[in-house]
Amino acid sequence: MALIDLLTLPAVIPSLRAASKKQALQELASRAADLLRRDEREIFETLNQRERLGSTGVGHGIAIPHGKLPKMERLFGMFARLEKPIDFEALDGEPVDLVFLLLAPEAAGADHLKALARVARLLRDQETAGKIRATRDPQALLNLLTGTAASNAA
């Protein structure tokens, strides 16, 4: 599954203000709820339950909070570049500034895992992460995340 299939321009947040992990998850849940027309609390609780199992801060300033929701029809992605890095209890202890939220249908199975792996690979690429950190333009961020700007990059 390509990221272009689960990430849209309204789901790209170029500068998110959050002072803590909880606040970041609340803000992402709120914005995802608006886009998905779902209950914000349900999304937040799903993300929080996953975080209790272990931080989704994967290192190198990256977090990929994720969870499965009932009655979801397809995978949903949302990206946020944080204004200031926050403690996300990441595996490497480094603060997080790039967050990719992934929500999946309960029966997503392998698609959910493939999407997680794809996001992790993309954001762990130092060159790509550097470009993402250097821009605040939502369309440019979407292009970098989905690979649609690769042929246009100069």
Whether 90 and 57 have beta carbons less than 8 Å apart is answered as: yes
Cα torsion 121, 9, 1, 33: sign:
positive
pLDDT in tens, 54-81: 999 999 999 999 999 999 999 999 999 9
Tell me if 26 is assigned to some domain. Answer: yes
The mean pLDDT value for 88-92 works out to: 94
Domain-located, residue 153: no
66 a catalytic residue: yes
**Banded model confidence at residue 150, pLDDT cuts 50, 70, 90:** very low
Give 151's pLDDT tier (boundaries 50, 70, 90): very low
Number of domains in the chain: 1
Of residues 21, 31, 38, 66, which has the active-site annotation?
66
Structure tokens at 62: 């990256």
- Which domain covers residue 57, as residue numbers? 7-146
**What pLDDT score was predicted for residue 108?**
84
Strand partners, 100: 79
Q: Is residue 24 part of a domain?
A: yes
Tell me, yes or no, whether 30 lies in a domain: yes
**For position 86, which CATH number holds?**
3.40.930.10
Residue 37 C-alpha from the chain's centroid: 18
Q: What is the mean pLDDT of the chain?
A: 92
Residue 151 belongs to some domain of the structure: no
Q: What is the pTM of this model?
A: 0.92
Residue 1 counted as domain residue: no
Confidence at 149, pLDDT banded by 50, 70, 90: low
The C-alpha angle with vertex 82 and arms to 80 and 87, in degrees rounded to 5, equals 115
Q: Is residue 54 one of the residues assigned to a domain?
A: yes
Confirm whether 67 is domain-assigned. Answer: yes
**In what helix (H) or strand (E) does residue 99 lie, and over which residues does it extend?**
strand 96-105
Summarize pLDDT for 120-133 with one digit per residue, the tens. Answer: 999 999 999 999 99
DSSP string, 32-89: HHHHHT--HHHHHHHHHHHHHHS--EEETTEE--EEEETT--S-EEEEEEEEEEE---
Beta bridge partners of 68: 104
Helix (H), strand (E) counts: the chain: 5, 6
What is the arithmetic mean of pLDDT over 134-138? 94
